Structures are given as structure tokens and as C-alpha cells.
Amino acid sequence: MRLTLKVWRQKNKSDKGGFETYQLNNVDTHASFLEMMDVLNEQLIEENKIPVAFDHDCREGICGACSMVINGRPHGPLKGTTTCQLHMRHFNDGETVTIEPFRANAFPVLKDLVVDRTSFERIQQAGGYVSIGTGSAPEANNIPINKNDSDKAFDAAACIGCGACVAACKNGSAMLFVGAKVSQYALLPQGHPERNERVLNMVAVMDEEGFGGCTNTGACEAECPKEISVANIMRLNREYISAKLSVEKE
Amino acid sequence: MALDSKIPSGPLGEKWSQYKSSVKLVNPANKKKIDIIVIGTGLAGASTAASLGELGYKVKAFCFQDSARRAHSIAAQGGINAAKNYRNDGDSVYRLFYDTIKGGDYRSREGNVHRLAEVSVNIIDQCVAQGVPFAREYSGLLDNRSFGGVQVSRTFYARGQTGQQLLLGAYSALNRQVKEKSVELFTRHEMVEVVIENGKARGVIVRDLVTGEIQRHAAHAVVLATGGYGNVFFLSTNAMGCNTTAIWKAHKKGAFFGNPCFTQIHPTCIPVHGEYQSKLTLMSESLRNDGRVWVSKSKGDKRKPQDIPEEERDYYLERKYPSFGNLVPRDIASRAAKEACDDGRGVGETGMAVYLDFADAIKKYGQHVISERYGNLFEMYDKITGEDPYKTPMMIYPAVHYTMGGLWVDYNLMTNVPGMYATGECNFSDHGANRLGASALMQGLADGYFVLPYTIGDYLSGEILTGKIKTDSAAFNEAEKNVRAQIDKLMNVKGTKSVDYYHRKLGKVMWDKCGMARNANGLTEAIEEIKKIKSEFWCDVKIPGTANELNPELEKAIRVADFIELGELMCRDALHREESCGGHFRSEFQTPDGEALRNDDKFAYVGAWEYKGENQPQELHKEELVFESVHLTQRSYK
């Protein structure tokens, strides 16, 4: 198939950037979107041009590295699919495809389609863990956990930290990402001793990093490649209010 | 040079506990004065860095990804083994040890493997306490499933995303230490050289992948936890960025490379479909619990799978290996698939695939049960191929997945270079010639959480008076100079072919001649072909852009330059090992019914290769494997 690509090109953080248009004449419909990008880059190298920089690694939908907005949608048109798992059979011959980086205040562009998502790291470092040192764990089956709770905790833990929720949100909010991590621990007994500090610290860093507020549009859930539910945002709000109240009581 | 494995004396079951009681310790006040560098943040690296940070050492951790959480351990699907015996099915530490030694075709060390089996139980406890959401039963207790090569259910899992959940657990432990300031984390930084001073590892040179800046970092010990080198084949199930550069630079600075030819070809991957293909996708081995592998009994059968009646199907694993059936170890399942395809009975457009069929399991348990077990894998298959495995059998074919070989390490996980350690897949230590399913996650976390934190004290107790290591020494100057020279040389070739062109070319030679079956002629040719690829690469590679910016083509070029040299060593190792064992199948050495024929008299050793200089063949050193507890037998899964 033939494609016209409009790709965001930006030399570095301080460059203003803009779209460039490229033609691809022989794209295999079985190729993945990133393999199509590889073909584009081979063509650019051939033409003595600079290939397009983009983040990618596992190419099986789990590492969370790939981060492109395709035709206006983070990770493209398919539900529950990362860019690397999107295949060209979902596009039409002759189509024009627009490719941009994830855009948000808290995700500055480093080059072309590569963005800096270390703001997510700092949120996790603020409290996204259970303080259990190596070697101090009790026997695993001493902590029975209701299967339903455990399954729900898993659903939240399935987040791959790609940032599509932020890119999809008109406010650039990270509530789904933070909600998922807070929920995982709130649903499990292991997370309970630190639940108040965790949610307060993570939300504080989230705000410092310049992520926007949540106005309940649900765009994050709609674009999440792992279909993380907005119920996690509700749980985040509940945890936050409950933590605030219990801190006040003290 | 005699290689000392430093296996403690005493009965097998007591070696590790005795060792732990007698190993030298570093007191807490002194730990603060000791710097440790950890390269890689997958299961092995993150658990190592977090545990050492908790102990009070000053740790610097590096990864080339934009987040530590994206290391390729994240993609492991099936599970993690532990000898908990929660199923009451006769499992024990000894049985896990025995299965691993046998599965590895008797080419690993008894002492290391027994220790691995012992600490396996602690790993599960640790991960559960971290909040890893393992699969549970309605009782609220942990669930298990079985995996290839064993007859007990000892595999813990988190749907088809076990690696992800375990890595996020280790990543959370790492983040906690980052907050505590005991670990300093450097993302988008790639190690490009190791610094050796007076025979000891004293630091690394890294490249900041965003700015291109070359940096020096010093430490009293360097731990490499950089994963496997399967991308030497270009197409593999590894992530695109997985590479050999860190361990290859270590090798060129004196670390011996153990059993480089031992490569695991995983039997259940989505088949190759086109020239543009960038990687292969694994379908978890756990699928073989319920999926039945088959091809048609007749050659060139082009009918749809649904149209081939039961009596005309060859369930060849069940036929050839009745006691293990579809759950034979990976090397055996892969070779059997290759045989069926070589025999002209492969399926699909290319004839290079076999069926993995769930129809019987769906009939027996219902679609909802199969969906609960493998839902995400079925979806992934559907997304990639456009076919629904609930309705039509999956098509699968073997692909490069894991490398058992790696840097030679002793019982302390230290290479022969003092102060340089290797943990996880990048060392050679525990899996022999073939790794069993669900053992990679176990080894990565065992090394990082429960082995290295103990064993590293043995060396570091001698470093407490050393003081801060300086980065302005002659050794650092020299190392940085070499790095800059290599980058300049690459940037100045200004040739005509892209890096991928050479990588694909290398991969094809490796797959054709050093892949699932090898022979002396092919390997000899491969060595010559790789030499040619090397000289062409250095004369004609084309890297656009500059070295002082984010430049993915330069990153790839640095890695591919090392893959080319490693490929040659793998072929030499495969050529010298005149036997078949595990994943190393030399077609000259097989039993009359086509099984691997080991030669224990001549080859029951670890082949550890010493670098001898540019364009010189490496020198082989042998560590004889001593078996005190198990009796070496012809591996049989029939």
C-alpha cells in the first residue's frame, strides 16, 4: 500500500519543530506501525536525511516505551492497543497519516517523537512501593487475599506507564496513571500500612510536575492501551480524601 | 589459567548455608564508604541495586531505556518457579535442583543450581510482600501451573504478564531506594566501556543517550546485569535495544565468556512473515499446558486445519514423548518443530510453522476458563496475525529467545576480573545448555535479592580502606579515549549502508549456521562470512547525524559492532564443542532416533574464552564440571 506521512520533526528540546511530509510507496499490510517507521527511516538514510527518532523497545505491547499520537489519537485508532501492536492492515491504501509525539506540559519533547516522561518516575519514587526490605518478607501464603480483590489489583497493576492517558487528556492530567498505582496497593493488604502517606506524597509530586487536574472526560480510559478503568481515579479520590481526613484527625 | 569456581566444600544441601555463615561481612559504617555501579535495571539489575542500597552501599544504577521499568524482563510472560510444594505433588528443593540440572543437559554447576532452588522460595515471599498480584485461587492462596520439562506444578504466575509484575515489584523497591538516596538512577545512559585499574574493575564509561555526553563513573565494584545477547540473530524475541555491549566490553577487558554458543530457541513464537520484520513475538510456553501441537501426517497438505480430520493429524510431541507430551523442554520441542517442517509437513503460507491447537481444551473447560488463563496472549496473537485462536489453531515456529551463555562467574557471581560481577541472564551460570521455562525470572531475582548481596561482601570487605575511587586516573583517561576513538571512527566511515543492513546480514548467517542445528562445515563458513561482514561494516556503514545528540543510529552501530565480534566467538565455541547438548545441536552428533548425543567424557566442562586482542582468536579455558550428587544420564522425556 501507499501512504503519505506527516511526521513531527523537532531537532531538540529548544527547537520549535514542525511537520514534514514523506511518501512511502510499498508498505506491507502485515507490518506493524513501527516496522513501517523502520522502512521510512531506511528510506531517509538512503536519501541522506536524518531518520525520525522515536521511542520503542519490546515491540510486544508491554514495555510502554512507544509513544506516538497517530491521526490525533495516542497509540492510534485501535482500542486497547499500543503503537507497536498496531498493524498496517488497519490503514487504507493512499491514506495520509499524521504522526506526533505525546504532548503534555509534563512531557517535554526531546527530539522528533521522543518525549521526556521522567515526571512519571518522580511520582513513583514519591511512594509507589511497599516499604519491605529484601529478606524481611513473611511466608507468602500467610497473607491470603480475596481473589476478586487480587484480580482488581492486577487490573490496576497492568498499567505500562506509557503516558497515553496524559497525552489523551485535554488537561494533561496523570490521574489515571497515579490512580492505577494507588489502587493496586489500596486493594491489597500489603499496601495498607502506608496508604495515607503514599497517596498524599504521590499526588503532591503529580501536582508539582505540572500535570493538570481531572475533569472526568474519560479520554484517558478510552485511549489507555491496557484499558485501565477510570474507577481507579475514583479510588484515588477516595484514598486521597480519606488520607487527608485521617491526617487532620491526628 | 585454572578457573576456580569457588564452590564451597561440604554436602550439596549445606554448601550455601555454610557459606553464608562464614562469608566476610562489611560493617554498616563501612558500607557507606563503598560505591557500587549496577548496569541494567531488569529483574537482576533492579533487585541487585535495591538490595545493595538497602544494605547501605552507595549505588549508581544505569539503564539505556527512558525508565528502569522498561527493561526487557517486563516482557516475560509465563511465570516463575519456586519449590514451595503448595500443590502437595512431591516437589522439593532437591527436585527443582534436579530438574534444572537435567533440563540443562548436565552442563551447569551443581552448587549454583542447588542454591538457586533453595532461594526460590524466598523470592515468592519477597514478591508477595511487595504487592505483586500473583494469580490466586478462591481460597485466597497462591495458584500454580506447570511448565515444560517437569512433572510438578511449581510455577507462580500473574496472568500472562509475570515478568511485568515482578519487574514492577523490583522497580518499586528500586524507587524506594532512590527516594532514600541510597541509589542514584541514570536513565537513557548506556555503558560503553569498563575501567580496569591494577587488575580490578574500578568504574565505567557511559554515554548519555540524549546529549551524547561521555561520562566517567567510578566505584569499588561493577555489577553487570544487562541481559542476554539473542539479538545477535537480529530476529529474536528480545526487545530492540537488548545488546551485548556491556558484557562484550568487559570480555575485551579480560572477563572470560562462558559457553557463548548455548542459545535457547523457544518453540512457541509467531512465525516470520516478511522482509521488513523487526522482531519475533513469543507466545508463552504456558500455552503448551492446554494447547496441542500438530501438523498433518502428509507432506504439502494445504487444507485448512479444520478440514484435516483427527486421524490424519500428527500430534508429534505426544507421539514421540508420551510421558511429557506437549510439555517437553524447549530445545526438544523446537527441534521437533524444525524436523516436521524440514520434512515438508509445515503449515501456513511459508510452510515454516506448526499448529498449536486449543480446540480440545476449549471443549473440555469452556472458553471462559481458557480466556482467564491465556486471554491476553490470545488477544496479542489476534492483533499481530489478524486470526482468532479461539476459532482457529495458532501457528507457531521456534525463535531465538534466551542465551544460557554469558560472562563466566564463580560461586560469588564474580567474573575472573576482581570487582566485576555479572547477574541474571548476562552470566552463564545456572542453566547449562538449556534453560527450563519459568527459570529466568527465578535466576534474575535470586541473583539480585538473595545471592549477590551476600557474596559481594567477600570482595568488598577487602576494599574498606581503599577510599573514594578517582575518575582522573590514567585508566579512566585511556578508557574514555578509546570510547571517543571508537565513536569518531564509526561516525567517520560515512559509507553507504545502514546499520540494520549489517545487523540483518549477521543475523541471517547466525540463524542459518549457528541456529537450531549446527555442523562443522556451516560453522567454519560462518566464521569467514562474519569476518567479511566485520570488514565491510567498518568500511561502509552509514550513520547520519552527529555524536553529540540523541542519535539512535549511532547507538545501534555501537551495539552491532560488538554483536559482529560476538557472533564469531559463538561460532568458534559451537565448532569446538563436538557433541550435542541442550540447545546446542550438532547434526554430526545425534542418537539413531535424532536426539542430542552428549559426550560427557570430553565435554563435561564450561568453555570459558579469553580475549586475546583485535582479530586474534580467543583462547579456550576449561572449568571441569564435577557432579557429586546427580548421575549423568541420557536425558529422556519419552
Contacts of A76 (CB under 8 A, 6+ apart): A33, A68, A70, A83, A86, A90
The verdict on residue B410 lying in a domain is: no
Q: How confident is the model over B215-233, as a mean pLDDT?
A: 98
Q: Which of B122, B168, B239 sits opposite A57 (nearest CB)?
A: B239
Is residue B177 scored above 70 in pLDDT?
A: yes
Tell me which residue of B13, B79, B5, B38 sits closest to B186, measured CA to CA: B38
CB contact under 8 A, A147 and B450: no
**Closest alpha carbon to B150 in B86, B82, B228:** B82
Residues of chain A with Cβ-Cβ distance to B380 below 8 Å are 60-61, 85
What Rg do the C-alpha atoms of chain B give, in angstroms?
24
Q: Are strands B420-422 and B221-224 parallel, antiparallel or unpaired?
A: parallel
In the predicted model, what is the mean pLDDT of chain B? 96
Residues A223 and A123 in one domain: yes
Instruction: Categorize the per-residue pLDDT at B322 as very low, low, confident or very high, splitting at 50, 70 and 90.
Output: very high
% of chain A with per-residue pLDDT over 90: 98
User: Is A87–B384 a contact, with Cβ atoms under 8 angstroms apart?
Assistant: yes
Q: By three-state DSSP, how is residue B189 classified?
A: strand
Mean pLDDT value across residues B594-603: 94
Are A101 and A159 members of one domain?
Answer: no
What's the domain range around B349? 267-400
What would the pLDDT profile of B94-151 be if each residue is shown by its tens digit?
Answer: 999 999 999 999 999 999 999 999 999 999 999 999 999 999 999 999 999 888 778 8
Chain B residues whose CB is inside 8 A of the A52 CB are none
Query: Smallest Cβ distance to A145: which of B140, B164, B383?
Result: B140
Q: H/E/C letters for each residue in B331-378?
A: HHHHHHHHHHHHCCCCCCCCCCCEEEECHHHHHHHCHHHHHHHHHHHH
Residues A134, B383: C-beta atoms closer than 8 Å:
no
B394 and B498: one domain?
A: no
Please indicate whether, in this complex, the C-beta atoms of B70 and A116 are within 8 angstroms of each other: no
Contacts with A49 from chain B: Cβ below 8 Å: 544
Contacts of A135 in chain B (CB under 8 A): 122, 126, 449-450
Q: So what's the pLDDT on residue B373?
A: 82
Whole-angstrom Cα distance, residue B526 to residue A190? 54
pLDDT interval class at A248 (50, 70, 90): confident
- Over the stretch B445-481, which tens digit does the pLDDT of each residue have? 999 999 999 999 999 999 999 999 999 999 999 999 9
Residue B337: which CATH number? Answer: 3.90.700.10
Same domain, A103 and A58: yes
Distance CA A11, CA A66 (A): 19
Distance of alpha carbon B173 from the chain centroid: 22
Q: Which 8-state DSSP code applies to residue B446?
A: I
The Cα of A92 is separated from the nearest Cα of chain B by a number of Å equal to 16
A55 to chain B, any CB pair closer than 8 A? The answer is yes
* Strands (DSSP E) found in B504-625: 605-610, 619-624
| CA nearest to A183 within chain B | B131
Q: Determine what percent of chain B falls in helix, strand and coil, rounding each to the nearest 5.
A: 40, 15, 40
Of the partner residues B129, B135, B137, the one whose CB lies closest to the CB of residue A130: B129
Tell me whether residue B274 is exposed, middle or buried, using C-beta atoms within 10 angstroms of its C-beta: 0 to 12, 13 to 18, 19 or more: exposed
What is the DSSP track for B42-82?
A: SHHHHHHHHHHHHHT-EEEEE-SSSSGGGSGGGG--S-EE-
**pLDDT surpassing 70 at residue A250:** no
pLDDT digits (tens, 9 = 90+) for A147-174: 999 999 999 999 999 999 999 999 999 9
In the beta sheet, which residues pair with residue A18? A9
Q: Which residues of A touch B54 (CB under 8 A)?
A: 133-134
Cell of B513: 549456521
Q: A130 and B545 in contact by Cβ < 8 A?
A: no
CB A227 within 8 A of CB A171: no
Asked whether the beta carbons of residue B75 and residue A63 sit closer than 8 angstroms, the reply is yes
Write phi, then psi, for B432 (nearest 5 degrees).
Answer: 60, -130
Within 8 A of B67 by CB-CB distance, chain A residues are 64, 117-118, 120-121, 161
CB atoms within 10 A of CB B497: 17
Question: What stretch of H or E contains B117?
Answer: helix B110-130
pLDDT confidence of residue A51: 98
With a cut of 90, say whether residue B595 has pLDDT above it: no
Same domain, A211 and A238: yes
Chosen domain end from B349, B365, B400: B400
DSSP B578: -
Q: Which of A129, A177, A183 has the highest number of chain B CBs within 10 A, making it the mutation to test binding with B?
A: A129
Pairing of strands B183-186, B58-62: parallel
Q: pLDDT at position B40, please?
A: 98
Query: Which residues form the domain of A94?
Result: 3-111
Q: Which helix (H) or strand (E) holds B406?
A: strand B406-407
Cβ contacts (< 8 Å) between A57 and chain B: which residues? 65, 70, 72, 239-241
Q: Which residues of chain B have a CB within 8 Å of the CB of A140?
A: 84, 124-125, 127-129, 142
Closest partner residue to A161 among B69, B379, B383, by Cβ? B69
With beta carbons less than 8 A apart as the criterion, state whether B172 and A124 touch.
yes
> Could you tell me which of B116, B100, B402 has the C-alpha nearest to residue B259?
B402
Q: Which of B43, B84, B88, B130 to mutate to test the interface with A (most CBs of A within 10 A)?
A: B130
Rounded CA-CA distance B528/B613 in Å is 18
Determine, yes or no, domain membership for B385.
Answer: yes
Taking residues B383-401, what's their average pLDDT? 95
Q: Are residues A181 and A223 in the same domain?
A: yes
DSSP code of B1?
-
Cβ neighbours of residue B530 closer than 8 Å, sequence gap 6 or more? B506, B509, B564, B567, B568, B571
Q: Give B355's strand partners.
A: B294, B395
Distance CA A93, CA A98 (A): 15
Compute the nearest-CA separation of A135 from chain B (Å): 7
Please enumerate, as own/partner, the contacts of A203-208 that have beta carbons within 8 Å and a separation of 24 or more: A203/A178, A203/A236, A203/A240, A204/A126, A205/A122, A205/A123, A205/A125, A205/A126, A206/A123, A206/A174, A206/A175, A206/A178
Q: Which residues contact B273 (CB under 8 A, 6 or more apart)?
A: A30, B350
Residues A12 and A96 placed together within one structural domain of the fold: yes
Number of domains chain A is built from: 2
Q: Which of B367, B400, B433 is the last residue of a domain?
A: B400
- Kindly state the cell numbers that stand for A48: 541522506
Q: How confident is the model at residue B633 (pLDDT cuts 50, 70, 90)?
A: confident
Nearest residue of A to residue B128 by CA position?
Answer: A140
- Domain membership of residue B492 (yes or no) is yes
Same domain (yes/no): A245, A144: yes
Chain B neighbors of A56, CB-CB under 8 A: 240
Q: How far is B381 from chain A (nearest CA, A)?
A: 10
pLDDT of A133 reads 96
Q: Is B2 exposed, middle or buried (0-12, 13-18, 19+ CB in 10 A)?
A: exposed
Per-position b or e across A53-81, b if 16+ CB within 10 A of its CB: bbbbbbbbbbbbbbbbbbeebbbbebeeb
A174 touches chain B (CB under 8 A): no
Give bridge partners of residue B621 from the DSSP assignment.
B608
**Is position B171 within any domain?**
no
- A69 and A126, same structural domain? no
B74, B133, B500: residue with CB nearest A58:
B74
Best B175, B379, B447, B493 residue to mutate vs chain A (most A CBs within 10 Å): B175
Cβ atoms of residues B421 and B223 within 8 Å: yes
B369 and B483: one domain? no
Cell numbers at A77, concatenated: 485508532
- Measured in whole angstroms, the distance separating CA B219 from the mean position of its chain's CA atoms is 26
Based on the domain organization, do A145 and A107 belong to the same domain? no
Which pLDDT score is estimated for B78? 84
**pLDDT beyond 60 at B605:** yes
| Same structural domain, B373 and B479 | no
Q: How would you classify the pairing of strands A114-115 and A68-70?
A: unpaired
Claim to verify: residue A123 and residue A100 sit in the same structural domain: no
CATH number of the structural domain spanning residue B554 = 1.20.58.100
Residues A42 and A14 in one domain: yes
* Most distant pair of Cα atoms in chain A: their distance: 67
A105-124 residues touching B, CB cutoff 8 A:
110-111, 114, 116-118, 120-121, 124
Task: Count residue pairs from A and B with Cβ separation < 8 A.
Answer: 209
Does residue B517 belong to any structural domain of this protein? Answer: yes
What is the domain-level CATH number for residue A67? 3.10.20.30
Tell me which of B354, B370, B400 is where a domain ends: B400
B396 and B271 both lie in a single domain: yes
- ipTM score assigned to the predicted complex: 0.98
A1–B contact, CB cutoff 8 A: no
Q: How far apart are CA B376 and CA B160, in angstroms?
A: 7
Which tens digit of pLDDT belongs to each residue from A195-222? 999 999 999 999 999 999 999 999 999 9
Instruction: Indicate the number of domains in chain B.
Output: 2
User: Which pLDDT score, from 0 to 100, does residue B380 have?
Assistant: 87
Are residues A146 and A211 located together in one domain of the fold? yes
CB–CB contact B84 A140 (8 Å):
yes
Nearest chain B Cα to A48, which residue? B544
Provide mean pLDDT across the span B11-29: 96
| CB nearest B136 (choices: A137, A145, A191) | A145
Q: For position A125, which CATH number holds? A: 1.10.1060.10
Sorted by sequence, the CB contacts under 8 Å of residue A212 that are 6+ apart come out as A105, A169, A171, A172, A173
Q: Which of B154, B122, B167, B171 is nearest to B20 (CA)?
A: B122
The whole-angstrom separation of Cα A31 and Cα A119 is 32
B330 is catalytic: yes
CB B330, CB B437: distance < 8 Å = yes
* Chain B touched by A73 (CB under 8 Å): no
Q: Do B126 and A128 touch (CB under 8 A)?
A: no
